[in-house]
Structure 1
Amino acid sequence: MNQVTRPIVSLSDLQLVSFEQGSLYKGADASFSQQLGLKALGVRYNEIPPGKSGCPFHNHHVEEELFVILEGEGTYRFGAERHAFKAGDVLGAPNGGPDTAHQILNTGSVTLKYLSMANNADTEVCEYPDSGKFQVSSRTSADHRLRHCGREGQNHLDYYDGEPGA
């Protein structure tokens, strides 16, 4: 049975966690799925300042994402295209290959505020077309994921590497 803390969450009560990496990635967000008792659906509230993005251009092999734009405007990189969006728009990111890679960029003049939702897959593979990276993750418990980030063909270990008798 789900442990529901509250059946309603107020966005203004969320404790946002700030992040910043390099010159492009900056923002603050908060996950609140668990507070609502949701296990299979991940939900986050995001705030991204002008000129920034919350994450690199990427695609998911398993998870699907949905973004509901609450305030602001920006550009949605999706596959090989770019699309303008504004408050009230809903952006979809189905799973797949590089043709479904996506990234939200705040190209407006005010803080971009949006909700992001995804099905919480226990195992996921993400690709990052701009950098040639991939990430593989597997949920090993409710609060722990095993993650590996790399590039195809780099630092690749043979299946039998280090195994006794190999």
Structure 2
Amino acid sequence: MAGPVVNLDRLTFDDVEDNGVFTSRRAFIGERIGARDLGYNLTILPPGKVQCPFHSHHGEEEMFFILEGEGDGELRFGDRRYPLRQHDVIACPTGGAEVAHQIINTGSCDLKYLAVSTLVDVEVCEYPDSGKFSAVTGRPGERGMRHIGRLADAVDYYDGEEN
């Protein structure tokens, strides 16, 4: 750990996603400054892109603070959409499809925001658009089990067990 302070202009973007519409750059901050129970990152979202699929968390709560953007963003939240601009603060509590969220850059300039989330040892996410879920154990850097599947593939509790 370098210390409890870092300036955003000194960050390295260590998570670069380039997957069609899902394109962004993220710089992870939390571990770098010694955070234990909160995760922090700086995200840059190019025009016309989204950072991740529409999803909700059952364990981690998230907050986003829009640093730069000229009315160039949109928050998809549950069944509604909200315009975003510089200095907006977004709360994404835990729950199901009613709090699923996604930030979209609808403008012509990069959208830059700070993301803060609680860190939990067990996380389940739902992806309402695709009917998927993910289950993850462990904290960043210490991940254990990770599984992504479809809710439709559910099996009986005793399926595959010897009886």
1:106-145 alignment runs, 5 A limit: 106-139=105-138, 142-145=141-144
Partner Cα separation in structure 2 for residue 108 and residue 140 of structure 1: 34
Q: Which runs of 5+ in 2 are unaligned?
A: none
What is aligned with 2:150?
A: 151
Instruction: Note the alpha carbon deviations across 1:50-94, whole angstroms, 9 max, x for none.
Output: 000000000011110000000013000000000001011001100
The structural deviation recorded for 1:122 is 0.6
Aligned equivalents of 1:69 and 1:140: distance in 2? 25
Count of residues in Structure 1 that have an aligned counterpart in Structure 2: 160
Q: Scaled by the length of structure 1, what TM-score is found? A: 0.89
Q: Measure, in 1, the Cα distance between the counterparts of 2:61 and 2:149.
A: 22
Cα distance per residue 1:18-49 (max 9 Å; x no partner):
21113x11010011101111111000100010
Asked if 1 retains the 8 angstrom alpha-carbon contact of 2:119 and 2:139, the reply is no
Relative distance call for 1:156 and 1:14 in structure 2 (3 A) is: farther
Query: C-alpha separation between the residues in 1 aligned to 2:35 and 2:100?
Result: 26
Partner in structure 2 of residue 33 of structure 1: 30
The superposition leaves residues 90-141 of structure 1 with CA deviations (integer Å, 9 ceiling, x where unpaired) of 0110001100000000011100100101000110110000000000111178
1:134-164: CA deviation from partner (whole Å, max 9, x where unpaired) = 0011117853231100012327485452x5x
- For normalisation by structure 2, the TM-score amounts to 0.91
Structure 1 runs not aligned, ≥5 long? none
Specify the alignment match of 1:44 in structure 2.
41
CA distance in 1, matches of 2:134, 2:3: 33
SS in 2 for 1:145: coil
User: In structure 1, what is the equivalent of residue 91 of structure 2?
Assistant: 92
The percent identity for this pair of structures is 42
> Helix, strand or coil: the match of 2:9?
helix
1:112 is matched by which residue type in structure 2? L
Pair 43,125 (structure 1): closer, same or farther in 2 beyond 3 Å: same
Structure 2 CA distance for partners of 1:87 and 1:142, relative to 1, 3 Å: same
Letter in 1 for 2:113: Y
Instruction: Report the equivalent of 1:7.
Output: 4
CA–CA distance in structure 1, aligned partners of residues 85 and 60 of structure 2: 24
User: Which amino acid is the alignment partner of residue 18 of structure 2?
Assistant: E
Aligned position for 1:19? 17
* Cα separation, 1, equivalents of 2:141 and 2:13: 21
Matched, 1:66 2:63: yes
The ranges of structure 1 where at least 4 consecutive aligned residues each deviate by more than 4 angstroms after the TM superposition are 155-160
